[in-house]
Amino acid sequence: MSKVFNFSAGPSMLPEPALQAAAKAAIDYNGCGMSLMTMSHRSKPIVAMFAETEALLREALDIPQNFKVLFLQGGASLQFCMVPMNLLPQDGCADYTITGVWAKKAAKEAKLFGKVNEACSSAEATFSYIPKELKQDPKATYLHVTSNNTIYGTEWKSFPKPANPNGYLVVDMSSDILSRKFDWTNMGLVYAGAQKNMGPAGVTIAIVRDDILGKVERVIPTMLSYATHIEGESMFNTPPVFSVYVVNETLKWVKSVGGVDALHKINERKAAKLYKAIDDSSFFKNPVAVEDRSPMNVTFVPTAEGHDEQFIDFCKARGLVQLKGHRSVGGFRASIYNAMPEEGVDALIEAMKDFEKQL
């Protein structure tokens, strides 16, 4: 079979070594004679694997010791309600930055538990930029940010500081975690669904500062309490063992290529050449403010109507798949996460040029 480059926004490409290790583990995990998927999550090999995965993640992102690392289920969408349920007092307020669909959904869930102040929004421009000025509530418990907006192709290059000196940041990093280092100083909680840049669907990472919990009076269902999962070391119930294992192998791959800093340089180079190809084209254009362009999700649209499906089919014939833009914005989207090799980006650029020549 010829090589296929998958530009899907998620589930997305995974590193080849992680896929090969997963294939072996599905039959026989580390010589145990059993599939990883049939082993008890409380067996010594699996407990050790979870501990190793946490250690690898801490190393990759320089996570301070006063943060707890949790391996949860339910995707980032469940975090939209877990965050305010655990952190937002009933008489309190939280600031939310509205920079895309997922940010809007997070804010909607938070309104079920307390007051939400929309600190900024780029909805009036179809989320084509990151707002530079925020109107925060000075008493807000936390400031919520969606670091990278997968559908629209924008990214916060640096995070805003909470206006409340006792407040903290809550960041949804589902689509750019492990692509860059960041400052933990103002962080309270970072969460990310794995299926874009870290592993397969099924596991969600939550990294929680240990002093922000236990400050709300509401009764929290056992499974929805961060404290439950901290106490149970992510094993209060049966965790998604196989998904965590693929995260483990992905983190080993990250380390093998030089870590997050090395990947950041590679990602910037991949994105720069693709954006240049778009900017140099007379047929494609990028609708995003230049300073806010995402290095993870590159969106582009045709300057003339009627060629969308033609271009998609042209790319598919070359082994370049999942390039169709989200239905809310149309056009095209190339998700070039960590595991997308540079040759995949080069192949897409070549296809863009060849397609334009034949018009």
Q: What CATH number is attached to the domain comprising 172?
A: 3.40.640.10
Q: Are 119 and 161 in contact (CB under 8 A)?
A: no
CA–CA separation, 185 and 160 (whole Å): 12
Q: Are residues 212 and 279 in the same domain?
A: no
What's the confidence (pLDDT) of residue 93?
A: 97
Closest CA to 202 of 193, 190, 213: 193
Cis preceding-peptide flag for 11 (omega within 30 of 0): yes
Q: How many angstroms separate the CA atoms of 249 and 333, rounded?
A: 27
Q: Could you list the mean pLDDT of each consecutive 10-residue stretch along the chain, which spans 359 residues? A: 87 96 96 93 94 98 98 97 97 97 98 97 97 97 98 97 97 97 97 95 97 96 98 95 98 98 98 98 96 98 88 96 91 97 97 93
CB 134 within 8 A of CB 95: yes
Helices (H), the chain: 16-25, 44-61, 75-87, 101-110, 226-231, 241-256, 259-280, 308-316, 342-358
Q: What's the structural domain count of the chain?
A: 2
The reply to whether 196 belongs to the active site is yes
Same domain, 10 and 29: no
Given 196, 253, 270, 292, which residue is catalytic? 196
- The reply to whether 47 and 130 lie within a common domain is yes
Rounded Cα distance between 223 and 72, Å, is 10
215 and 354 both lie in a single domain: no
pTM reported for the whole predicted model: 0.96
274 shares its domain with 209 = no
Residues 114 and 29 in one domain: yes
Q: Which residues pair with 301 in a beta bridge?
A: 285
Q: Which domain holds residue 270?
A: 5-14+258-358
* Domain end call among 203, 231, 256: 256
Same domain, 72 and 155: yes
47, 165: one domain: yes
Catalytic residue among 68, 95, 156, 172: 172
- pLDDT for res 3: 83
Is 353 in the active site? no
Same-domain check for residues 302 and 208: no
pLDDT of residue 264: 98
Distance CA 202, CA 220 (A): 23
Question: Is 36 in the same domain as 133?
Answer: yes
Co-location of 244 and 287 in the same domain: no
Which of 229, 256, 283 represents a domain boundary (last residue)? 256
Give DSSP secondary structure letters for 178-192.
TSS----TTEEEEEE
Residues β-bridged to residue 293: 154
Identify whether residues 327 and 194 lie together within a single domain.
no
Amino acid 307: pLDDT: 84
Instruction: State the CATH number of the domain containing residue 291.
Output: 3.90.1150.10
pLDDT value for 69: 98
Class of residue 284 by CB neighbours under 10 A (exposed 0-12, middle 13-18, buried 19+): buried
pLDDT at 2 (0 to 100): 66
Name the domain boundary from 256, 291, 312: 256
